[in-house]
Structure formats: structure tokens, C-alpha cells
Structure 1
């Protein structure tokens, strides 16, 4: 099986718009700060047109016909928006009808009636939204995606397909040759995909998505690690009452565990937390041995971040 990992800026932007359109200022952690900033910048300006359009989509629908095949290093937001102009209108319309063989939803009707004009409107609307809601945060978003791609590429190189797909997300199942995505009341499976494209998404929350499972390439969008970077890399202050993370791990390890929501080096952790590097190393060794944290080498640097177990544990303790 051939596996590729690549970002997809247009999908990322549309996912962020879905989050903002449906949650607004009530966006969940770690998106609250970004949501406040984005909504303030959007105001009643032209960027709000994208939110109105996204809000009109049928529930649970992802417009696959607007998600093109990404480039391996596709992190140029401006270029991604401009490339929409080069899309073949009839190809977009064909993908639209393939996605909705029983009838195109009204929200996507313009792409069936006049795809060339609809693509022009889509590009302008997307750029208006990106300028105020995404571009000011794109540095943080792209850094998170780069770290995620490096981490997953390393897992594939050292552990193979089973290690990569087995650790991708709790709702993604892999029992060779079957890839399964489960959702509340839903289970989609693809038998022996010959080509698999993995797309990390910062705004996916906890909702991986399987696109075109019956075509030549199976596309799986999944939540990227380290999204707390969007909130400054640190979890919110504990709610009034007992801090369950501190109660379980102690104050130093609890602080360290929260900081590991974004992969960091020992030096960066020592500087941020104002602790001796030897102290940081000692606590990291314990977290790694307990499979709460993972050590990853990138070039000549060693980064530490939370494993899926660590992330789940932190979420449960913060919610408790």
C-alpha cells in the first residue's frame, strides 16, 4: 500500500469555518482564543459570507468536490487559494455529482449550474475569510502541521504501516487490509486501499473524516497533534476546585504534561517552565517510561510530546 502525508490548506480553512459557524464564541478548547480573534476581525465584513454559506451545508457534509489533491509541502495559503482559479470547472461539477448522486443540496447548487462562476465566487470568499481569520494565525497553524507531518513520517519510517495507522486516532481502526473509521452510529470501511492519503487538520477537533473511500485513493483527514499551540501551547487554567492532574502527577509533572501538548525540546521546556534542564529530563524520563510522552528525533534535535494515551489522559483529568 502506498501512503502519503500532506497538508490541505483549503480543507483546513473550510474546517475552521465549520467550527466558527456552528460554535462561534462557544468554540471548545483550544480554539476559544482563535475564535474570539477571528470573529472580531470578521465583524460584518465580506468574510462573513463564508460562515453563512458553511452554516447552510447539510449536517455532517464535507464538500469533497472542493478538496483537490494536495502537494507534499502545500503550506502556502496564498498559493492554495490562487490555484482554485486553475481548477477545471467541469471536473468540479463531475466530482459534485459523484458525491451527491441522488441530488445536489441547494447550498452547492451554483457549482452544478455554473461551476466556473461559482469557483470565482468561492475563491474570493475564501480569500476574504483567510485574510482576517486564518492568515494572522497561519504561522502557528503551519508549524503545528509541520511537526505533525514529521512525527507521523518518523512513525511510518521506524514502525511501518501498522504503527502509523494503529496510533493515528482512537476512531481510526486498522486490521490489515481493512481501514475503518467509526463515528456515533456509523462505521465506514475500505478494503485493502492501494493508495492512502493522510491529511492532518488543526481544526478537525476530534472528528476524523474518510473521503472517497471507493475511488483509487482513500483520503483520511485526521486531527493533528499539538493543536493546543493555537491557544499558546498551554491548556487553560484549571477550573475552581481540585486540580486532578496535579493530584495524580504532582505539580511539576502536571505543568510539564500540559506544556507537552505542543512538541518541545528539553531546553525549550526548561526555559519556559524556569526549571533546570536536569529536572526536566528526569520528569520526562518518567513520562516516557509510562507511555504518556514520546521522544522524537528531528535532524539534530530531540522533541518530546504527548502520546495518544497522554492526550486522552490529560483531557479526562481536565474534564473531571
Structure 2
């Protein structure tokens, strides 16, 4: 069991990441690729990655075993969704941190020569790590980033709603089935037995697409506290982009029309079906129908949070919304012609 011990200051400093973290998604997706046996979630994606993996990328896989320790320096707290900025932070890791993390990874067995060089912070080893991480990311993560972002944003919308409805403690209590909140301790069901005293530092909560087993945190409790948890995988279409590739051109033509543009605008901050109907003064059935068309076109994602269905924009939907702002006014009410 992993236990985070909160003070009153820590409760005031709990925050949720604005989106998926590319460095964490890179590391956690490598964990999935490294799984050797048993049923694997995202199996089609995994096979696609393995079949196209360049030799240079295998260095990263050797640093990210599917179970046990992975170096903390691979997931720096950059506060950005830009992979290149995160990679720069990784390659700028202080030598003392490299040495500490690599010694932890090598505990119990003899490290490879390149691992010793990386622990020493040698320039060639760091360049090799940079090539490995970039080549892996460009194959395994970057082509699917829009799908990853859409699924994480949808889960984040549900968590944000919980915050608004019941405050921080309610949000912590409903975060994930493996996580329990009993003031002042947040307990996470994991194989490790650890206590982390937040000591006023707060906690950054990060929903993750490729975190497919238990929630995860950094091994070094002295680093800024962070908790990654698996998003709930019952959202319509969240696996579509990684497991299949389909042409959405025909569905996109269904978006022509005043009301559906207004629906897209109404979902700028996320909404339930009933909220969407109220905002546009249309029936819940019509709101649900429009949401279905938008979802099939890949412009929104929908998920159930307890008894409520929440809709949120995907990156493609946000792009289309940005192009519509100021040009497609939202109707005060919908007519039969608008719904056609």
C-alpha cells in the first residue's frame, strides 16, 4: 500500500494536470511494450510498435522494465505538454541524479557498459538516450497523441466536475477504484509498501492513458510529489485511434449546419447531455443525437461518470471550434430545420 499523508496545506495545494504528460506517457507506454506474457491491453498498438521499433529505441526499453523500478529522471516535472521540452529536461539531469537512479536500476545485477556511461553523465551516452527517446516517441506516442489527449481530457473533465461538486476531498475519494481517501491519508493499492509525507508540498495528480495497471508515483519521496492514475477505460471511442485507423471524412460532412456548430461551442468547457440541452434549448434526445454525430466524427469524446454522461472536445474538435468562434453564432433555440 502506498500512503500519502496530507496536512491542511497539502489539501489546499492538490492540483490536477492540465493534460497528459508526454514524458510519463512515453515511459508508461514503454512498460506496456515490455510486457512479455498474459493478455495485454492495447495489444494491437503494442504489436504495431514492436514491428516498427528502430534499434536505437531499444535503449529506452532497457531502462523501463514492465515491473519494478524505472529511473525517476526519465519523467521530470517540466510542467509542459511539449515532448522536446521534456526531453531537454531529461538530458539536463544533474550527474548526481543520474548516478543515483542508474544505481537503483542496476541493483542486484551487473549493469551494461552504456548504463555505467549514462550514470557518469557522459555526453555520448546522453546523446544516445536522446536519440532513443525521440525515436521511440515518434513511433509509439506522437502519432496517437490526439487520441491520448482526448481520452485523458475526458477523464479530467469528470475529475474536475467532482472537484466542483464536492471539493478536494470528494475528488480524492472518487479518483480511482484503487485509491481510497480517509482524512488525512490517501491510500493507493500497490505492491509497494511506502509512506510519503507531503509536508506542505501538495500533490500533482496526473490522469494517464498508458498507465494500465496500478497508479504510480516517483520512487524518490524527496522529489515533487506526483500521482499518476489510469483513466477509466469505458469512454466511447477512446481506444479507436490506437487500435484502428479510419477515415472520418464522410462523418465530418454531417457537421455542416448551424446547430451542430453551436453544440461544439457549448462543449468548450465540457457538459452533460442534459446541460447541453439546456444551454441550446433543445430536447435531451436531440442533444444526444448531435453528440453521437460529433463523437463518430472524432470531434468529441463521451464517458460515463456514475449516472451521468459527460461530453468533452477532442483536439480535433477544439481545432474546429477555434475556427468557428466569432463566425457561427449559437442559436437561442433550435428549429426543425436546424436539426436536419
Normalised-by-shorter TM-score class: 0.5 to 0.7
Residues 175 and 119 of structure 1, relative CA distance in 2, 3 Å threshold:
farther
Q: TM-score, normalised by structure 2?
A: 0.60
8 Å contact from structure 1 (residues 148, 224) kept in 2: yes
Structure 2 residue aligned with 1:312: none
Structure 2 residue aligned with 1:271: 293
Residues 11 and 198 of structure 1, relative CA distance in 2, 3 Å threshold:
same
* 2-structure distance, mates of 1:10, 1:18: 13
Residues 103 and 66 of structure 1, relative CA distance in 2, 3 Å threshold:
farther
Using CA pairs under 8 Å that are at least 6 residues apart, name the structure with larger relative contact order, 1 or 2: 2
**Structure 1 residue 46: deviation in Å?**
2.8
Residues 63 and 234 of structure 1, relative CA distance in 2, 3 Å threshold:
closer
5+ residue gaps, structure 1: 237-262, 275-283, 300-320
- Match 1:84 to one of 87, 90, 93: 90
**Structure 1 residue 199: deviation in Å?**
1.7
Alignment coverage as a number of residue pairs: 251
| Larger radius of gyration between Structure 1 and Structure 2 | 2
Structure 1 residue aligned with 2:267: none
Task: Provide Cα deviations, 1:140-170, integer angstroms capped at 9, x if missing partner.
Answer: 1122222233332332233212111111122
**Structure 1 residue 215: deviation in Å?**
2.6
Q: TM-score, normalised by structure 1?
A: 0.63
8 Å contact from structure 1 (residues 200, 223) kept in 2: yes
Matched, 1:48 2:31: no
Structure 2 residue aligned with 1:231: 239
Mapping of residues 224-263 of structure 1, within 5 Å: 224-226=231-233, 229-232=237-240
Mapping of residues 1-320 of structure 1, within 5 Å: 1=10, 2-6=13-17, 7-23=20-36, 28-29=40-41, 31-42=42-53, 45-51=55-61, 53-54=62-63, 57=65, 59-71=67-79, 74-85=80-91, 87-90=92-95, 92-93=97-98, 96=101, 106=111, 109-114=116-121, 116-184=123-191, 186-191=192-197, 193-194=199-200, 195-212=202-219, 214-215=221-222, 217-226=224-233, 229-232=237-240, 266-267=288-289, 270-271=292-293, 292-296=306-310
Q: How large is the Cα RMSD of the aligned pairs?
A: 3.9
5+ residue gaps, structure 2: 1-9, 245-270, 274-287, 297-301, 314-340
Task: Provide Cα deviations, 1:26-70, integer angstroms capped at 9, x if missing partner.
Answer: 6523x022113222322x54333433x146x49411321322113
**Structure 1 residue 92: deviation in Å?**
3.1
* 2-structure distance, mates of 1:40, 1:102: 31
